[in-house]
Amino acid sequence: MTELIEEVIVPAREARTIEVKKGQILEIVDLEGQQVGDVAVWMAADPNEYLSPSHTVSSLSKLVPEVGDPVLSNHRTPLLKILRDDVGRHDLVVPCCDPERYAIDYGEPDHGSCLASLEKALVDEGLDLPLRGEMCWNVFMNNVVEDGKIVTYEPPHAAGSLIAMEAQEDLVVALSACPQDISAVNAYNPTPMALRVSA
């Protein structure tokens, strides 16, 4: 039986951070369903070592990690181990959405983005951590490779769906509740998420 240590609500279209100690359980929870989160993770002891989706895909030789798999850093250190996954759909290929994505691809330069939300959360919480869009794991994103193309479908998962992972190191975690409402990413309706740490 685990005990909840901290819960952080991530409002729709915003981002928040949480600390997770080695051995504790991190949950990323979709409170209302069909929502994608963009997560960045840093080693507390050395923020230049951080979650790397591309290194994870490389070492696992699979596009979507599964229960039992580790999620790796840019130095291939296991940072998190997946214990439970209610959704089973994730994207580790594309970066998080950023201002240029909306300006260039959608003609909406003033649209909110995961990258801007994450940058604001780090500033608001006084954290000086390196951040780039390609560091982000797109949790619950229903991207499927079809004939060499990446096709984005609406996520079908229900309210309360979560992924639970055991921290393998002391970590700082940032989560953006993705504000994308122009494509199917969040079923056209961005909603809040939660970060939970338990032990």
**DSSP characters over 60-129:** HTSSS--TT-EEEBTT--EEEEEEEESS--EE-SSPPP-HHIIIIIHS-TT---HHHHHHHHHHHTT---
Check binding of 195 to Zn ion (CB under 5 A): no
In one-letter notation, the amino acid at residue 67 is: V
| Least separation in angstroms between CB 112 and Zn ion | 9
- 97 versus 175: smaller Cβ distance to Zn ion: 97
- 96 versus 194: smaller Cβ distance to Zn ion: 96
Check binding of 114 to Zn ion (CB under 5 A): yes
Binders of Zn ion in range 122-181 (CB under 5 A): 178, 180
- Give the separation between CA 45 and CA 169, rounded to whole angstroms: 9
Check binding of 118 to Zn ion (CB under 5 A): no
Looking at the chain, how many residues does it have?
199
Check binding of 97 to Zn ion (CB under 5 A): yes
Q: Which residues pair with 124 in a beta bridge?
A: none
Q: Under the phi-then-psi rule, with left for phi > 0, alpha for psi from -120 to 50, and beta for the rest, what region is 88?
A: left
Check binding of 121 to Zn ion (CB under 5 A): no
| Least separation in angstroms between CB 125 and Zn ion | 19
For the record, the structure tokens of 64 come out as 């979507």
- The footprint of Zn ion on this chain (CB under 5 A) covers a number of residues equal to 4
- 24 versus 117: smaller Cβ distance to Zn ion: 117
Write each residue from 19 to 48 as x if it is in contact with Zn ion (CB under 5 A), else as -, in one continuous string.
------------------------------
| Least separation in angstroms between CB 87 and Zn ion | 16
Residue 1 DSSP symbol:
-
What is the binding site for Zn ion (CB under 5 A)? 97, 114, 178, 180
